[in-house]
Every structure is written in structure tokens, then in C-alpha cells.
A = this chain, B = another copy of it.
Amino acid sequence: MTATVPIDRRMGVLASALNTFARFGYRKTSMEEIARAAQISRPGLYFLFDSKEQLFRAAVAQALEEDVVEVERVMAEQAVPLRDRLLHSFDRWAGRYVGPMTRDIQAVIDENPGLLGDLIDLYPRRFAKSIARAIVGPDGDALTQTLISVSIGIKHQVDEREQYRERFAVALDLLLR
């Protein structure tokens, strides 16, 4: 049972664990390295997380959770223009994981299917719902769908976050009338 452990202790470990997984991939990352990066002993790491697999799941889940919570927060801010809210949200959700360093996170994730269970379906759906809710009008769902497709396409075309932002902004301005 890890539930008795202070939550904030784990969060820092999760962040550096995800980093390490991203750098070397799931297989080639040892618990030793994660522990070192988190400035903790390896048995101490096992005290916080039952297994390497569970640690990986938790690390990815935390990242997804933080991203989607941020998206939900931003999309709810009625004061700022829809266009800016969308750009910020998509950049956070997808643009963040573009580039030589952060791209590997995505690679690790889909090189290890089954390791993550429903997370891979659940969070994207939650993201989509959060976007769709903010877009009013009859074309709301179609627009959301298309924005997501554009985002995925751009991610496969570029390799720098800035390029992602630029291209997505162009698409956004075309799609928002």
C-alpha cells in the first residue's frame, strides 16, 4: 500500500521519473537511474511505488492529469478570447510534446501499449470534451474534431514547438471564421 505515503513526496519523483523515461525509453531506464535522478535510494523508490510498471503508469498519468487540468482551467476563462484559449490549450496538450527531447515521451508511450490501460483513451477524450464545451454554435463538435486532427497532423510534420504553435495558429484563424 502506497496510499499512506505523503502525496507531494511522490509527485516530485514522478516528474523526474517521466523525464528519465523520456530520455532513455521504458526498457532502458533502470529503477537505479530513476532513484538517482530523484535523489532517493532504490529501495526507497520501491517504498513509494510497487513496481517499475506502476511507476511508469503513475508518471504518465500525472503528466496527463496536469495537462488536462490546465486545459480545463484555461478553457473556462471566459474573459480571454476563444482563439487565445484554444491556442494555449492545444500548445499545452500537444505542442509541449514536440521536439527531440520531449518527443520521446510520446514515443515511450506508444511503444509500450498495454502498459497504460485506459489512460490513453480517457485523457484524450477528456481533453476533447473540454475543448468542445467552450466552442459554441452548431459546428462545435465538427470544429473540435478538426482542430484535433490538425494538431495531430502538425505534430507529425514539425519537430520544434515553435513551429507547432505557428502552424496551429494559422489553422485556428482559418477555422474560427
Contact = CB atoms under 8 A, between A and B. Distances in A.
Interface of A: 139, 142-143, 145-146, 148-154, 156-157, 167, 170-171, 173-175
Contact of A153 (B139, B150, B175): B150
Contacts of A139: 174
Q: How many copies does the complex hold?
A: 2
A151 B156 CA distance: 11
Contacts of A175: 146, 174-175
13 contacts: A139-B174, A146-B150, A146-B174, A148-B153, A149-B167, A150-B171, A151-B153, A152-B153, A152-B156, A153-B153, A153-B156, A156-B156, A175-B175
Contact of A170 (B145, B153, B154): B145
Contacts of A154: 149, 153
A139 to B, nearest CB: 6
Given A146-B174, A152-B157, 13 more contacts: A139-B174, A142-B171, A142-B173, A145-B167, A146-B171, A146-B175, A149-B149, A149-B150, A149-B171, A151-B153, A152-B153, A153-B156, A175-B175
A132 to B, nearest CB: 14
Nearest to A146: B171
B149 A157 contact: yes
Contacts of A145: 167, 170-171
A72 B17 CA distance: 50
A145 B157 CA distance: 11
A8 B142 CA distance: 45
A139 B173 CA distance: 10
A154 B173 CA distance: 20
